[in-house]
Every structure is written in structure tokens, then in C-alpha cells.
Amino acid sequence: MRMLLLHGFTGYARSFAHLELDAVTPDLPGHNGAPPATSWEDALDRLEPLLDPGPVILGGYSMGARLALGLALRRPERIARLVLASGTAGIEDEAERARRRKGDEELARFVEQRGVPAFVERWERNPILASLQPLQMQQLRLERLQHDPRGLASALRHLGPGAQPSYWNALERLDVPTVLLAGKRDHKFAALATRLHLPLPRAELRLLECGHVLHVEQPDVLKGALR
């Protein structure tokens, strides 16, 4: 069965290469030379053709998990299994979403003005990355440094949580087998995964001994969920 995997913010097509899976792994908009992101819906429009021919196993990590959820809600009949690692259904409160958009706009201007190396140094201070080992952080840094500042800025503006619609009210109609993965040390996303589990009709929740970057910290668990 065909498999489609979507990487996270600052990742790229080969972010899942170490899993050694036969999968389609596109560069998402604004990453690794892919055309810049222009809107959330445009990103889904670009990715939707990759669901054909279906059904497919669809997986995603972080930003990729959010996009994967959007695709699954668009085309549930094309999804054999959905695997969401460190994902969310969006921000419900409009004021909170506006604050997130403002924060992502500030980060977008930072990467445009200061460049990718300065942005990566700032991004790596994010507490959700604290559980990574030095060698893991070094490998991810190599991925992040290859991006274009304009591309990353477009992803921040158009693919960030502030740009994503809230899907919470639509989850109960997503009648496809779903695996939800989150790290116990990533308290925010562990709570989000637990909440996602409640309305999804056919979801399985797995909380792991790790942080946010599941495909690096617990690759075998992610690989098993996909296979």
C-alpha cells in the first residue's frame, strides 16, 4: 500500500530517510527549494493529488501532522490509516490564533532580516527540543540550515498554527483508523493528543517516553505505526 509522509517545519523530503520506508516524502511548501507557501488551503491543494491512487497510509510530524489531518478531512475515502505525530487540530480561540499569527509574523521577519543561521540558533532554544541528544540536534541543524529564508518565512506565515483552520468540530466525522503519537515530556502536545483521541471515532493514542521530535527520538515506534 502506498505511503505518504509529511515532514515538520524546517524539515525536508529526506527527514524520514532513516526510517527506511517505501514512502512518498515531498518537500512541503517553502522548504528545500519548493515554491513558497501562499496559504493553508493552497498547500492542501498541492498535496491532495498525492493521495491518488488511494487508499494510502498518510502520516505527518508536527506541521506535517497538521497538514495530514487537513488532507484526511478533505479526502477520507483516500486514507487507509492516518498517523499523526506531535500534531494538533488547530487553535479554536480566535484571539489566541491572532496572537500566534503575530508571533509567527515576527519570526518570519526575523529569518528574512537575519538569515537562516541566526534563525536556526534561535529556533533551537525552543523548550520542545530540549530532550534531543547533541548528535540528534546536530543532524537536524544540518537539515534546517539548507533552507531559504524566504521559504521559511512563507511557511511561518501560511502554514503555522495561526494560519491553520480549527478542525476540532470536524473530528467526529473522520471515520478512518488513526494513530496519535506524542511524547510524554512534550506536555503541550501530549495533552493535545489526548484531547484529539476523544472525538475521533477510530483513534488509538500512544504516549511515548520522549519529547516533541518523535521521528528522531522514537523512530521505531513511528515506523511501526506506519507499517
| C-alpha span between 55 and 217 (Å, rounded) | 29
pTM: 0.96
Where are the domains positioned within the chain?
3-93+158-226
Q: What is the CATH number of domain 3-93+158-226?
A: 3.40.50.1820
Q: 94 by DSSP, 3-state: which?
A: helix
Residue 197 pLDDT greater than 90, yes or no: yes
| C-alpha span between 58 and 48 (Å, rounded) | 11
Share above pLDDT 70 across residues of the chain, in percent, rounded to a whole number: 100
Among 63, 66, 183, smallest CA distance to 128 is for 183
pLDDT value, residue 209: 93
In the β-sheet with 3-6, what is the strand arrangement from edge to edge?
3-6, 56-61, 79-85, 178-183, 203-208
Residue 27 pLDDT greater than 90, yes or no: yes
Q: Report residue 54's pLDDT band, with 50, 70 and 90 as the boundaries.
A: confident
pLDDT value, residue 227: 86
| C-alpha span between 53 and 127 (Å, rounded) | 40
What confidence tens digit (pLDDT) does each residue in 70-110 have?
A: 999 999 999 999 999 999 999 999 999 999 999 999 999 99
Grid cell, residue 221, equals 515506534
